[in-house]
Structure 1
């Protein structure tokens, strides 16, 4: 399932980096913190790899 907004795609990227150990987990906030805990690395990768062109800034 691809990301539905630019904000969701960006949060997934931050969560994926933390899950892989590329970024510290304590710096995560809000949605990215919740995504890191509840989603697998494969799911996060799918969300983070969504192309941003044409996506709204935020989900309605």
Structure 2
């Protein structure tokens, strides 16, 4: 499932980094924190690998 916006892709990347132990979970906020709690590493990887070039900044 590809990300629908750049913001979603960035949040997934932050959550993935925390899942891998590269950053602290306490540094996560908002969508990244809820993604960390509710999604697997595989799901986060799918969202984070989406190309940002053609995506809007935010999905309304």
Q: TM-score if structure 1 supplies the norm length?
A: 0.99
Determine if the alignment matches structure 1 residue 42 to structure 2 residue 24.
no
Distance 2:20 2:43 in 1: 13
Structure 2 runs not aligned, ≥5 long: none
**Paired residue for 1:32?**
32
Runs of 4+ with deviation above 3 angstroms: none
SS of alignment partner, residue 57 of structure 2: coil
Deviation of residue 2 (structure 1)?
A: 0.4
- What does 1:9-20 correspond to in 2, within 5 Å? 9-20=9-20
The match for 1:4 is 4
The alignment's TM-score, normalised by the length of structure 2, stands at 0.99
| Structure 1 unmatched ranges of 5 or more | none
